[in-house]
Amino acid sequence: MAHDAAARPLTPSEQADELEERMMHELNEKIATKSVLFGMGDGKVEMEGGAALQAKNPGKYFLMGADPRLPEMPEKPQLIDFFRQRFASTNHLLQSAALARKAGHNEKVVLACLLHDIGVVSFIRCDHGYWGAQLIEPYVDEEISWAIRVHQALRFFPDESVGYPYPELYRKFFGPDYEPEPYIVEEYKRARNHKHYMTARLICVNDVYSFDPNAKVDLDDFVDLIGRNFKQPKEGLGFDNTPASHMWRTLMWPTRFL
Ligand SMILES: [Fe+2]
Ligand SMILES: [Fe+2]
């Protein structure tokens, strides 16, 4: 733990945090907990022990399942349920997939575009390609998960053969002097000669941010494609005992105590 908050008076922002936390807890019968990672987003490396947290919420137990504040998930959730109930934004994904489909690319490329940023929209930005690939690996052709993994690195490197420049947006976001870290450069070099290079590259080509705001995109347009190319487990994502199951469960129950 980074420091002992009890040893000194609370700052106004800590008081506000505490009030927010109290209100949050009162909304529930159970105590929902924030994991360490959630606090790091506010620049804090800290956690509260179970006993202390429970002492602040007398008579209550910790949440060990669904958080009632979050959209309800079905008992056997499928990819579509995560799209609808757990992905904070799907427009970018739908637009990318629609663009790839319009360009006549095959279903693997379209699905790769549809899923390429699920790491970002559901979980975490850092290394989103790797997280996204890991989530779907057991359920798709390895061409799709491989492409999603490396699109993160490829995005930083132009490929004139397909008319892909270094993104202007990255200059705006990261500054003119930003250079990808060595692990990204290495990933790019490995990917460049890989048999599925072009699938990953096509994610980049269709990974556009300047959308036509009037373009109509709908998840329903991709339900059949998902059905054909994503092996939905009959037990539901999270309950199918794959190396990715725990990740889907975490998205389902992000505030469980354990
Ligand atoms: Fe991405
Ligand atoms: Fe993207």
Phi, psi of 71 (to 5 degrees): -55, 140
CA distance 239 to 93: 25
- For 242, residues 6+ apart whose C-beta sits below 8 A from its C-beta are 138, 139, 233
Ligand 1 midpoint to CA 126 (Å): 10
**Does the pLDDT of residue 3 top 60, yes or no?**
no
25: confidence class by pLDDT, cuts 50, 70, 90: low
**The pLDDT of residue 2:** 44
**CA nearest to 248, candidates 149, 119, 143, 71:** 119
From the list 164, 251, 247, the residue with the least C-alpha distance to 201 is 164
CA of 209 to the centre of ligand 2 (A): 8
Gap from CA of 186 to ligand 1 centroid (Å)? 17
**C-alpha separations of 100 from 32, 53, 201 in Å:** 41, 49, 12
For residue 74, which amino acid is it? P
Cα-based distances in Å from 49 to 181, 214, 252 = 36, 49, 23
Q: In the structure, what pLDDT confidence band is assigned to residue 209 with cuts at 50, 70 and 90?
A: confident
What is the structure's pLDDT at 165? 96
What is the torsional sign of CA 111, 112, 116, 119? positive
**Pick from 172, 96, 176, 82: which is nearest to 135 by CA?**
82
What is the pLDDT of the chain when averaged over all its residues?
92
Nearest ligand, measured from the Cα of 207:
2
Ligand nearest to the CA of 152: 1
Ligand that lies nearest to the alpha carbon of residue 96, given by its number in the listed order: 2
Q: What is the per-residue pLDDT across 48-107, written as a single tens digit (0 to 9) for each? A: 999 999 999 999 999 999 999 999 999 999 999 999 999 999 999 999 999 999 999 999
